[in-house]
């Protein structure tokens, strides 16, 4: 049983009398009357990060991935609460200085206020981050329409390449290795998009677990499908170089999670507006597909043939 099924089977009914919970089917809690938007995420050693050898980079990863939940809803993150369960090794003076320095940098970069949390001892490290923002409107899931265009910000796949390198599944040059590992720990989130998502998005989600998996989450509970073009999915020059050098398939890299880009749908009439915005604010926003009322279709990287399904839809947390 995966995490989605656990929520659906055991917890969703418990939140049925709380409309602000959004039926536990979105990234956030949203109380419209109080203009209150909250998200919470937990990050575990060996699942969300390989080990604790780079505590400063882990902090950057968890802060950026956490605030992306609000960014994709069109909400500016303001307050964060950070709880940590750590062991004696991670809590030594040098590591705590690294963590403090990194946290200070992230708070300054994204104009966040550290507002509380908790610290406990544990043999296995984990972090929980709660983010709070304020808005009278959010862009929810499940609001796409037939004919809407699918867009994504930034590039996909760099973080997965970094993970494969860290796990010694891929060998590369020193420059490529350093680039991909950095992207795994320090994602380039589209922070400024919180200002613009409400202007044109019909539905929105951040890509945390994988492009296809999160796209299907964004459309769940709707009788809709999608056409997705692998050829159009944006990747970095370095990932394109790695794919060509190693003769890899692009589709194996673009839906594996840890991207934290904004995935959204928008009415066709707003496509030109979005393209102009992309140039103006210097954030890559790429059209990668469309919403249909037919079964899901994925056009593979040759741009000509459809495949029934992509093997790597994304990462699911599975329980026995």
The tokens for 137 are: 């409107």
Phi/psi at 280 (nearest 5 deg)?
-70, -40
The tokens for 5 are: 């099924």
Whether 131 has a pLDDT exceeding 90, the answer reads: yes
Q: Domains plus CATH for the chain? A: 3-134 (3.30.1330.10), 149-307 (3.90.650.10)
Q: Any idea what DSSP says for residue 117?
A: E
The per-residue pLDDT for 320 is 65
Mean pLDDT of 305-312: 70
Convert the pLDDT of each residue in 214-246 to its tens digit: 999 999 989 999 999 999 999 999 999 999 999
Mean pLDDT of 309-319: 77
- Tell me how crowded residue 242 is: count the other CB atoms within 10 A of its CB: 24
Convert the pLDDT of each residue in 66-93 to its tens digit: 999 999 999 999 999 999 999 888 889 9
- CA distance linking residue 196 with residue 237, whole number of Å: 26
Q: Which helix (H) or strand (E) holds 238?
A: helix 237-246
The per-residue pLDDT for 308 is 63
SS percent in the chain: helix, strand, coil, step 5: 40, 25, 40
Convert the pLDDT of each residue in 137-154 to its tens digit: 999 999 999 999 999 999
Mean pLDDT of 4-30: 92
Least confident of 48-52, 191-195, 307-311: 307-311
- Tell me how crowded residue 46 is: count the other CB atoms within 10 A of its CB: 10
- CA distance linking residue 165 with residue 167, whole number of Å: 5
Whether 278 has a pLDDT exceeding 70, the answer reads: yes
- What would the DSSP string read from start to end of 73-84? TT--EEEEEEEE
- Sheet of 113-121: strands edge to edge? 29-31, 36-44, 126-134, 77-86, 113-121
- CA distance linking residue 109 with residue 105, whole number of Å: 6
Mean pLDDT of 268-281: 97
Cα torsion 290, 294, 295, 299: sign: negative
Q: What percent of the chain has pLDDT over 70?
A: 98
Long-range CB contacts (< 8 A, 24+ apart) of 113-117? 113/78, 113/79, 113/80, 114/80, 114/81, 114/82, 115/79, 115/80, 115/81, 116/81, 117/81, 117/82, 117/83, 117/84
- Tell me how crowded residue 10 is: count the other CB atoms within 10 A of its CB: 10
Whether 309 has a pLDDT exceeding 70, the answer reads: no
């Amino acid at each position: 049983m995966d995490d989605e099924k656990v929520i659906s089977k055991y917890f969703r009914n418990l939140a049925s009398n709380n409309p602000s919970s959004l039926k536990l089917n979105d990234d956030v809690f949203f109380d419209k009357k109080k203009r209150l938007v909250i998200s919470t995420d937990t990050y575990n050693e060996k699942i969300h990060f390989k080990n604790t050898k780079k505590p400063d980079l882990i902090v950057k990863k968890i802060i950026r991935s956490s605030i992306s939940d609000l960014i994709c809803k069109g909400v500016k993150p303001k307050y964060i609460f950070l709880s940590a369960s750590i062991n004696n090794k991670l809590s030594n003076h040098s590591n705590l200085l690294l963590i403090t320095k990194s946290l200070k940098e992230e708070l300054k970069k994204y104009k966040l206020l550290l507002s509380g949390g908790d610290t406990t001892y544990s043999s296995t490290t984990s972090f929980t981050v709660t983010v709070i923002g304020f808005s009278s409107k959010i862009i929810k899931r499940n609001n796409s329409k037939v004919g809407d265009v699918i867009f994504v910000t930034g590039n996909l796949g760099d973080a997965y390449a970094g993970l494969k390198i860290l796990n010694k599944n891929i060998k590369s040059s020193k420059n490529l290795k350093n680039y991909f590992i950095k992207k795994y720990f320090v994602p380039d989130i589209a922070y400024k998009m919180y200002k613009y998502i409400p202007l044109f998005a019909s539905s929105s989600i951040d890509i945390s677990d994988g492009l296809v998996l999160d796209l299907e989450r964004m459309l769940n509970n709707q009788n809709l499908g999608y056409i997705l073009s692998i050829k159009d999915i944006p990747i970095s020059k370095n990932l394109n170089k790695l794919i060509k050098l190693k003769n890899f398939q692009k589709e194996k890299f673009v839906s594996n999670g840890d991207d934290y880009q904004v995935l959204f749908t928008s009415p066709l009439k707003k496509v030109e507006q979005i393209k102009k915005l992309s140039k103006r604010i210097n954030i890559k926003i790429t059209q990668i597909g469309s919403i249909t009322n037919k079964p899901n279709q994925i056009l593979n990287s040759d741009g000509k043939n459809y495949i029934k399904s992509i093997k790597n839809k994304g990462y699911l947390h599975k329980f026995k």
